[in-house]
Structure 1
């Protein structure tokens, strides 16, 4: 006897080692597809990904199996693990020696259940069906002949009432999946049916089933079981390994399942709470014995003595296996406790780490739902973590633009990062707070990688920049005020020239007016020639008045404080304003002005008053720089040139003595000047204006002496042409 036990032990060890060496990294888990393949993949796919994440040396895959596919899949070793109802498991255990590793505890609401049963039902309006006996001669539908909760449990109760489903029903059909059975009964296609417990409640929550339309036949009550029930209760589904699967791998998988947290996404998807040690399935054996179902279909009277006599060696093997399982179970329990402690410490560590960061941080899965959020996210947005986790982040934080218009999810940077795995940084956007207000934020989106370097979501790190934006806005306002003061200062410096410009037409108007008075007061005032002369003088007076009005108009335009945003402006009109306000100073300083205008460019995108301010400042600097240059050699050139890169270059050149290289490096700093009376703010302000137009003023030496100041502005089409093009495009779309 001892020798035989030793041989069996050596045989088991050799089988385990041989299987371990032949281990395949691609592990298949067969799952009974009792509600359809799509439902099975959606429910159990996350569990496979969880195992892949926990055991990175393996790649787990869910294989949905119909009722008639399970036996062949196990027989032909097409899967490594199997998850089926207890009835099918009992047969697989008997025929192929599959071994259960653990039992699934179903999650319903916040509670876990390790047992389930069957429910027999009909339509509420079927007054002729009240009890099991009333089903005699009626049509009946079950899920499958091998479905424990969907047929065999109900069969046992019917048999107890003297009803044989295969003989006493007018028609017995099998729907294949639970949902089809329920719909067939509700639609009146079948008189009554049976499914496993909690299916009716699930369909009420997800498929719109009205439970008031359903009557439960042979209702049972259990204070610890809240679902509609017609049968006795039996243990839940076991997770089992095939004989070919190594014990080492089975141990790793069992440890990983036992260590899964109760509210892990995989558990929530599979609608289960936890995995625990395998339960006793003796109740299922008793059901099969009573119904004479395999593996008890051929068994007659068989005593315990007969069992010992015929199968004593299996008893020895079972004792060895149980001993081994006891050792494994003990190790699993100890490891499970240790892993839970480690996991708890790690979760607390990561939680403290995230909460210590001042920036908001939250995670997003592939469906756009928030997976975690730190304390700063709550403080900044006002949304509680419980409100964010599990819900779509775009719908909560990012649903609309600042003007209230809809923000399509396809344009959301977080959505794009999750889909194309490219990191992004957004420097100016808004998030919506819980109180309905908005905050300005800058944020980054970084893809989160999973097994095989695939993207499983993204992490968002954001910062509230509302105060920074307010400071920026105030800075811009102060800058505009400074620009306005600078224009007033420039106008004050040109006051004498402008006064002379206005004095000329006013003097002419005065002289012509007196001449008209004298002519009208003479004796010949009625003469026709005298009237013609008066009309001619009046015409001249009108032109001089228009000239004076034009000067005043340009002055009012130049000192305007409330400036519009950048828009398409004509280059020629800006230069006209500049020359109108500076030509007296140019003429007075005996400077020769040369205009070299590129006629191919008419319009640029700019704030015209600010650009006029810059050009006037550069022109006046150029004129003043040539005061020591001999008369006749004072040349001022204003030039525009198309750069063929979508920009117009505007340059102001002089023939003065130039600027020292040491001064050039500091020329645009505030309070740096080469003038005796200057404050050194003109060029600094001018540089600030050009920078708001996305460019800088460049200083270059002229070959023939002097310097050249230049900058660039974006070229745009004529607003009239652009409007016509838009109208034409709109008409083309309407025709199409």
Structure 2
């Protein structure tokens, strides 16, 4: 550190020279084989020295990694280049650079203008002593283009029949010399190779201890005192790039050759000045022997050499020619087969189209019919001549089922053509040629051409007249079954209802006789007679209300829907069940929300559902002590416009064996039950777009819950 500070102090006058505006910037590219910072610290003083001795020019150092050297010279990013002799030889051939001086290297107090490579390992590796021992060991070099850090050692190994790529257990590059030394020292690799003077420089800098390393294949030369394992080659040349003028190159060469060996700039770079350019033939010989660029192919290039070098390209070309011949033959045969297949497919297409029982028509972007199958003509009565080329909407789809006009801009078929979205319509009408309509379900799917552009749509429809008729018959059968169930329920409740009616009739008769006696006595008071007559009227109204509820429940309902208040329906059912509730000793708890939503439904069917669930709850509490029999009915408005009705009891609960099948027909927990009540209730609720399910009670018993949607008018009023 103190030596660097001394050099910087000595160079301070040089650095302090200001750059004049007219000075030309000259860039010196330097191979950064020990890292960017180390390269900049070592060679910046040399650039400063040249700036001082060559007026009108300002020199700066550009550190270059191994892969950066070639593009820097190729694209004129530097004016001078300082690299190892191996890279110089390639640059000389490729880009015609010229050496103007050779470095006098300084290491350990010795000045040399030649250098070599060092193959080394740790001193404690007793199994590695000669080059032959390198086989099967891990090896690290500096870079594939590093002369002293790889190529020199490769030449020595080659003379012993060794190939670092093939014979090493692993082979890698460290990028800089110091990294290779550290990798060997730390035991990450077995063997390393660097240029001469690297080990000595790192030892002087106290980064390593030379005694920790052992040189393999050592060579001795009285005039070269550094550790080495290879032959010697000339040191790094300082070269000018092609675009640099000869006049400037001459000035730089003179300045370098005149630099004293003890100059601070030389000391900073660990060298002892410069000498005239040496002969680099030995480097050429090394590259020829290793067949490295620019001597990849030495000697006469024969046809055998071409085949040997480019055999895979020749093989690929031959394979390609054979492949093209086979493909041409195959394509010709395919064309013939495609023509036959096209004709066959056209026949098959027509056969399949006409064999489908559903009607099929094709529609273009303007809504005109492009094709139709046989079923289409049979169902509608329209012939192909009537359909092809004519607007399908005006023929088939012009009017709705209620007789109102169906605008073309609302036609799903048109919409599919324009937004390319498939559509399915489950209930609509098409019109026949005779002017009658029939119910259909149909799908409209876009048709695309080879470029995936929509060119129309295909419509597949089915006549659902029979399905709707069967559905109507099933609904009628369901209504009949529900009616029979209500009659059966009334039969079971007959005695209780008769008792309910008998009470007001008895009261009417008693009060009527009392009124007659008062009138016959001749001294009755008018007010007392009026009071008795009012009692008779109240009892008559009570009996009439019971009879009205009874008649409404047992009548066969009409299919018209009406808006009903679920709370009123619940009160009507409780009136019908009052005798049965009293006889069973059941306490009724009603928790009915006042502002409950109106439901669009069949009044008598909702009556039946509530009655079925309430009677089931009463019967489920037969085995419970009388004080604990509670029937709770709750109504609430639910989110998303639903009414929730809950009917719960305090009975013994459900049998797990039938819990999952509770709503299936003929499944019952009663000894004499038919198992139809819950099944009918489920059918009624689902027909009203609702849902029914069962929940376990909070402590005991069962809670049946059903949800019904509120009517559209009610929704609009709330909104």
Measure the CA separation in 1 of the matches of 2:344 and 2:663. Answer: 58
Q: Which residue matches 2:615?
A: 620
Task: For residues 343-391 of structure 1, give each alpha carbon's deviation from its aligned partner in whole angstroms, at most 9, with x where no partner exists.
Answer: 6544333211211212111100000000000111111111111111100
Task: For residues 227-263 of structure 1, give each alpha carbon's deviation from its aligned partner in whole angstroms, at most 9, with x where no partner exists.
Answer: xxxxxxxxxxxxxxxxxxxxxxxxxxxxxxxxxxxxx
Matched-pair contact (CA < 8 Å) for 2:648–2:701: yes
Measure the CA separation in 2 of the matches of 1:575 and 1:404. Answer: 41
Equivalent residue runs for 1:114-193 within 5 Å? none
Pairing 1:410–2:415 present: no
Equivalent residue runs for 1:234-253 within 5 Å? none
Pairing 1:658–2:657 present: no
Q: Which residue matches 2:511?
A: 512
Cα 1:524/1:600, change in 2 over 3 Å: closer
Work out which of the residue numbers 536, 561, 573 in structure 2 matches 1:578: 573
Shift of 1:336: 13
Q: Which residue matches 1:634?
A: 629
Pairing 1:667–2:662 present: yes
Equivalent residue runs for 1:401-480 within 5 Å? 401-480=400-479
> Is the deviation greater in 696-705 or in 631-640?
696-705
Measure the CA separation in 1 of the matches of 2:415 and 2:574. Answer: 52
Q: Which residue matches 2:502?
A: 503
Measure the CA separation in 2 of the matches of 1:412 and 1:424. Answer: 11
Q: TM-score, normalised by structure 2?
A: 0.52
Measure the CA separation in 1 of the matches of 2:559 and 2:357. Answer: 39
Equivalent residue runs for 1:195-344 within 5 Å? 344=343
Secondary structure at the residue paired with 1:605? strand
Shift of 1:339: 9.3
Q: Which residue matches 1:493?
A: 492
Matched-pair contact (CA < 8 Å) for 1:572–1:602: no
Measure the CA separation in 2 of the matches of 1:602 and 1:424. Answer: 35
Matched-pair contact (CA < 8 Å) for 2:597–2:637: no
Pairing 1:599–2:598 present: no
Q: Which residue matches 2:558?
A: 563
Equivalent residue runs for 1:694-709 within 5 Å? 694-709=689-704
Measure the CA separation in 2 of the matches of 1:498 and 1:419. Answer: 65
Shift of 1:664: 1.2
> Is the deviation greater in 441-450 or in 562-571?
562-571
Pairing 1:363–2:362 present: yes
Q: Which residue matches 1:589?
A: 584
Cα 1:550/1:386, change in 2 over 3 Å: same
Task: For residues 626-665 of structure 1, give each alpha carbon's deviation from its aligned partner in whole angstroms, at most 9, with x where no partner exists.
Answer: 0110011001100012222211110100000011111112
Pairing 1:378–2:373 present: no
Q: How many residues align?
A: 386
Equivalent residue runs for 1:83-94 within 5 Å? none
Q: Which residue matches 2:55?
A: none
Pairing 1:713–2:674 present: no
Task: For residues 688-707 of structure 1, give each alpha carbon's deviation from its aligned partner in whole angstroms, at most 9, with x where no partner exists.
Answer: 11110123321111121000
Cα 1:351/1:662, change in 2 over 3 Å: same
Cα 1:701/1:396, change in 2 over 3 Å: same
Pairing 1:550–2:549 present: no
Matched-pair contact (CA < 8 Å) for 2:632–2:649: yes
Task: For residues 596-641 of structure 1, give each alpha carbon's deviation from its aligned partner in whole angstroms, at most 9, with x where no partner exists.
Answer: 1122324222222111110011000000000110011001100012
Task: For residues 163-197 of structure 1, give each alpha carbon's deviation from its aligned partner in whole angstroms, at most 9, with x where no partner exists.
Answer: xxxxxxxxxxxxxxxxxxxxxxxxxxxxxxxxxxx
Shift of 1:441: 1.3
Task: For residues 697-722 of structure 1, give each alpha carbon's deviation from its aligned partner in whole angstroms, at most 9, with x where no partner exists.
Answer: 21111121000000101124776x96
Q: Which residue matches 1:645?
A: 640
Measure the CA separation in 1 of the matches of 2:489 and 2:425. Answer: 40
Matched-pair contact (CA < 8 Å) for 2:597–2:643: no
Secondary structure at the residue paired with 2:650? coil
Measure the CA separation in 2 of the matches of 1:512 and 1:425. Answer: 70
Structure 1, unpaired ranges of 5+? 1-334, 726-736
Shift of 1:669: 1.6
Cα 1:546/1:717, change in 2 over 3 Å: farther
Matched-pair contact (CA < 8 Å) for 2:695–2:702: yes
Task: For residues 422-471 of structure 1, give each alpha carbon's deviation from its aligned partner in whole angstroms, at most 9, with x where no partner exists.
Answer: 00111111111111112221111110012432210001111111111111
Secondary structure at the residue paired with 1:371? strand
Larger radius of gyration: 2
Secondary structure at the residue paired with 2:634? strand
Cα 1:461/1:716, change in 2 over 3 Å: closer
Matched-pair contact (CA < 8 Å) for 1:626–1:656: yes
Pairing 1:391–2:390 present: yes
Q: Which residue matches 2:251?
A: none
Q: TM-score, normalised by structure 1?
A: 0.50
Shift of 1:400: 0.5
Cα 1:586/1:724, change in 2 over 3 Å: closer
Secondary structure at the residue paired with 1:674? coil
Structure 2, unpaired ranges of 5+? 1-333
Matched-pair contact (CA < 8 Å) for 1:448–1:455: yes
Measure the CA separation in 2 of the matches of 1:506 and 1:634. Answer: 31
Cα 1:500/1:563, change in 2 over 3 Å: same
Shift of 1:479: 0.8
Cα 1:468/1:536, change in 2 over 3 Å: same
Secondary structure at the residue paired with 2:631? strand
Shift of 1:412: 1.2
Secondary structure at the residue paired with 2:689? coil
Measure the CA separation in 2 of the matches of 1:629 and 1:363. Answer: 70
Work out which of the residue numbers 515, 526, 529 in structure 2 matches 1:531: 526
Matched-pair contact (CA < 8 Å) for 1:568–1:718: no
> Is the deviation greater in 343-352 or in 568-577?
343-352
> Is the deviation greater in 472-481 or in 336-345?
336-345
Measure the CA separation in 2 of the matches of 1:491 and 1:696. Answer: 26
Q: Which residue matches 1:352?
A: 351
Measure the CA separation in 2 of the matches of 1:633 and 1:557. Answer: 33
Shift of 1:687: 1.0
Measure the CA separation in 2 of the matches of 1:608 and 1:376. Answer: 44
